Each structure stands twice: as C-alpha cells, then as structure tokens.
Amino acid sequence: MKLKSLLLTTLVTLLYLQAKAQEVTFKTEYIGKSGYYYLPPGEKPKEKIGDAKGSAMVYQAAANIPLSMKMNENNRPTAWGIGLGGSYVSLKNQNFSEQMVSEIMNLQVGIYHLRPLNDRWSMRASLGMGVFTPTTDFSKLSFKNVLASGSAVFIRHLNPNLSIGGGVAINSSLGYPMVFPAVYVNWKTEGKFDLNVELIDGLEVSAGYDFNDRFKLSYALEMNGQVALLKKDGKDVIFSHQYIVTGFRPEIKIDERLSVTGMAGLNLYRPASYSDRTLKGVFASDNDYFFNVALYSSVGLKMKF
C-alpha cells in the first residue's frame, strides 16, 4: 500500500468521530528503529536513503461522551454526543540530510449524531475541528494548523453481524473544503472465538479467543496515523506519519469498567514524508518514503463509565 493510499485514508477519516458508549481510552505505542527507504514509481525496487533511520513513540487518548441516547425496538440508538481525541508523536530520526519533523501533536473535538432510518438503514454524521502541528509550543500555532471537517454516512444493516455503508466526508486538509468518499464496514462474530473487521476510523482486523471472563487474546492488524501542517521552503505542506502494525493483542479485564490492553508484533509499513498541501501533491508519485519493518509494542487502558 503506497503513501498516497494511506494519506487518502487519513484525509477521509480525519475527525471522523465514532458514536461509541461512554468510554475513555489511553494508549502508548513504541515503533522500533529501522532504515528509511524510497519507492520509485513503477516496478523498480526500493532504494535505501543513506544511513537514515528512525523510531517513534506515540501517545494517544480519546473520549466519547454521549449527550443523549435512546434505543429503539431493534436495539439501535438515536444518539448525540461529543468526541475528544489527542495524540503526540516523538520521532527519533537519525542521519537525515534534510529537515525532518521530530514531533507531531494532533488535538480534535467534535459532535456526532447517530440515528436509525428504518429497520435496515441508519445514518451517522459528525462535525468537528482539530489542530495538527509539528510542535507542542502553542505560541507557534496559527489558523494554518486548524482543520474543520464533517461527514455523513448511510449504513445498511445486512444482518446482526454485518453492516456496510458509504457517504461523504468534507474537510479542509488541502487548505480549502474538499469532498472525499467515506466508507463504513463493521463485521463481527461473537462467542468465545470472535472475528472483527472495522473500517470506520482507520482499519482494524482481529481474531480473538476469550479464555475466561477476565482474559482475551487476539491476533490483530491495525492501521493508524497522524499529520502535521506546516511551511517548508515557503510552501504549505502536509507531513504525514502512518503505520500498519500486526501482532498478538492481550486484553485483561480488571472489572466491568476497566481493561488493560497491549500488543506485541511488527510494524509492517511506516510511511513518513512531506507532500504539497494540494490534491496533486497528495497523489504525487515522488513522495513514497517510508521506514522499513520494525518491532512494535503497545500498552493501553479502556475505561467505561
């Protein structure tokens, strides 16, 4: 999967707030050191960029707070709520000949609405804004670092385990309002062994087994990322940092409200590069720079209230 595909996913899901139950999550991720490469257009092999290499630490937090919720006879909610999210990335880059972003801060807030339309269809919409910067110094922030977005997605409930949908997402990632396609997929099975596929806010695929009421072990594939908006060489650019990880993910339930999660495995693909803040720049064929495969680990908390 090339950078332009990953970046499009980021632009589409940017500020796409999920209508979950009341929940607060914290997560710390470590991506090990690996070399930095360039993928030329066509079928040419990847090229290593000198002795450049890097690792990353990612800290994330999110909260979903329903303001009102009412369930219908099909157990589907009509809900209004507020979503809050934030992430901080420390990029430990070494031996780069050109300037590289060393930290990213993303802060987001928005309101979401979820409503059943009939027995088979639901609608979900969101409206929000966020700050996406290459620094934690608030005195350096400007309107160039602020993005607004909205989305509307129509969801078809094919059966109790599978829902798919589509719609539009609008945001100002490119400096002006742009409309992107939004895709929704949620497929899961339940029981001691379960499968789960979500393409809602990023990508998550997992297969898990409940050993007992307290411990569950899954094998998962996840995609996540962050962006920073800045000026480089006098031009407005986007620095995007994405990563696809896979590995074993244990979850320990401390009680009905608190769970501890973790993951140990590999970072399969970690694009990190600049692109012009234009549609042409996003899909340019000369910005496919990425870090190679590396070790990955994470630990997190989930709190329901």
For residues 172 and 148, the answer to whether their CB atoms sit within 8 Å is yes
Can you tell me the distance from the alpha carbon of 109 to that of 275, in angstroms, rounded to the nearest whole number? Answer: 25
> How many folded domains does the chain comprise?
1
In a domain, 305, yes or no: no
Question: Which residues lie across from 103 on neighbouring strands?
Answer: 90
Contact 290, 54 (CB under 8 A): no
Q: How far apart are CA 272 and CA 7, in angstroms?
A: 10
**Quick check: is 303 in a domain?**
no
Among 184, 192, 185, 289, which residue's Cα sits nearest to residue 242? 289
CA torsion through residues 171, 176, 179, 180, sign: negative
The answer to whether 85 and 75 are in contact (CB under 8 A) is: no
Q: Residues 247, 31: contact at Cβ < 8 Å? A: no
Burial of 290 (0-12, 13-18, 19+ CB in 10 A): buried
In a domain, 195, yes or no: yes
Round to whole Å and give the CA distance between 197 and 190: 12
| Domain encompassing residue 215 | 3-44+51-298
Residue 225 lies in a domain: yes
Q: pTM for the whole thing?
A: 0.89
Q: Quick one: tokens of 292?
A: 């190679």
Specify if 304 maps to a domain.
Answer: no
Instruction: Render pLDDT for 116-131 as a digit per residue (tens, 0 to 9).
Output: 999 899 999 988 888 9
Show pLDDT as tens, one digit a residue, over the chain (305 residues): 454 544 444 554 444 444 455 788 999 999 999 999 998 877 678 899 999 999 999 999 988 888 888 888 888 889 899 988 899 999 999 999 888 999 999 998 989 999 999 989 999 998 888 899 999 998 888 888 998 888 888 999 998 889 998 888 887 777 677 777 788 888 888 888 998 888 766 678 999 999 998 999 999 999 888 889 998 888 888 898 989 999 999 999 999 889 999 999 999 999 998 988 877 766 666 678 999 999 999 999 999 87
CA 105, 234, 104: angle at the middle one, nearest 5?
A: 10
**Hey, what amino acid is at 179?**
V
In a domain, 87, yes or no: yes
Specify whether the CB–CB gap between 129 and 110 falls below 8 A: yes
Task: Provide the 8-state DSSP code for 73.
Answer: T
Span 220-262, pLDDT tens digits:
999 888 889 998 888 888 898 989 999 999 999 999 889 999 9
Asked, for residue 211, whether it belongs to a domain, the answer is: yes
Q: What pLDDT is stored for residue 1 in this prediction?
A: 46
